[in-house]
Amino acid sequence: MTFRRPTQFVLATVVFAALALTAACSSCSSKPPSRFDKAQQESTQPKDKQAPVNQNPIAGGTFNKFFPKAEAGYTVTFAQEKKGVSQASLKKDGKEVALLSVTDTTANPTSLDKYKASTTKIGGHPSVQFGPNTSVLVKGRYQVTVAAKPGFAKPDAEKWLQKFDLAGIASIP
């Protein structure tokens, strides 16, 4: 809509002001609940009241040399690198088909829970399927994941998981 007359704009401004006041009062009224509110409450507590996690996980760059290399039709491009995580984009003919990653689970220990029920192994390491992720846990600490985009089949994910240098990752102190 275009404001063609001043009165229309004044009216809209009044309506907006009313909405702004309502928004300003969001702390005294109720916001729509979110399924992620519990995480919000937990993670805004003082650090000493939060579940303990390793604040200084291993540098993400440590994992880089163990990533799969590009091969015919496929490229591997590093995308994110922070403490405890390194991630790359796997593309086939220029289209992203999966995210490849290695993480230090001491930064997010709840990620270990799913391995308790693991009955399968890939490359000798316990493996799990979680959503689009196919992951293995190396040395009880380092999680190696292929997160498949729609259309990237599970056997392909397992194949790429084994292209990581899992033995090299196991040798990280």
Partner 1 sequence: MSDKSIIEIVDEIPSSGMTVMLLKSLDFVVPGQWQNVVGFENTIRVYTGTDDEAYIQAVGDRVVHLYNDSSQGYQRALWLYQTANSAGGMLGTAAMASKLGESVSFLGFLDKITPKADTSQSIDFTLKTVIELLCFCQINGIPGDSIGDFVAALGEYGGDALMRVAAIVCVDGLLPLGPDFLKMGDAAVSRIADFESNPIFTKIASYIPGGDSASKVGFIGQAFGSVRDWMDNFVQSRGLTREGIVGSVRNYIDITDDKLDYVGAFLDMTTNYYEHTGIQTLARRMVERAMAEV
Of positions 58, 85, 122, 169, contacts partner 1 by CB under 8 A? 85
User: Segment near partner 1 (CB under 8 A), from 104-112, 116-124, 154-162, 164-172?
Assistant: 104-112
Indicate whether 157 belongs to the interface with partner 1 (CB under 8 A): no
Indicate whether 37 belongs to the interface with partner 1 (CB under 8 A): yes
124 backbone φψ class: left, alpha, beta (φ>0; ψ -120 to 50): left
Of positions 54, 74, 92, 108, contacts partner 1 by CB under 8 A? 108
Residues 6+ apart with CB under 8 A from 47: none
Q: Which residues in 54-73 contact partner 1 (CB under 8 A)?
A: 55, 60-61, 64-65
Identify the DSSP state of 84: T
Indicate whether 86 belongs to the interface with partner 1 (CB under 8 A): yes
Q: In sequence order, what DSSP letters do the residues of 43-75 get, joined into one string?
A: HTS-GGGSPP--SSPPPGGGGGGGSPPPBTTEE
Show the DSSP H helices in 5-135 as ranges.
Answer: 6-24, 37-43
Residue with tokens 């033995």: 167
- In three-state form (DSSP H/G/I as H, E/B as E, the rest C), the secondary structure along 67-79 is CCCCECCEEEEEE
Minimum Å gap between C-beta 119 and partner 1 is 18
Indicate whether 25 belongs to the interface with partner 1 (CB under 8 A): no
Indicate whether 35 belongs to the interface with partner 1 (CB under 8 A): yes
Minimum Å gap between C-beta 33 and partner 1 is 10
Cα angle 34, 39, 43; round to 5: 135
- Determine the Cα–Cα distance for residues 142 and 62; give it in Å rounded to an integer: 11
Q: Which residues in 122-141 contact partner 1 (CB under 8 A)?
A: 130-133
Contacts with partner 1 by CB under 8 A lie at 1-4, 9, 12-13, 15-16, 19-20, 31, 34-40, 42-44, 55, 60-61, 64-65, 77-82, 84-89, 99, 101-103, 107-108, 111, 130-133, 143, 145, 147, 149-150
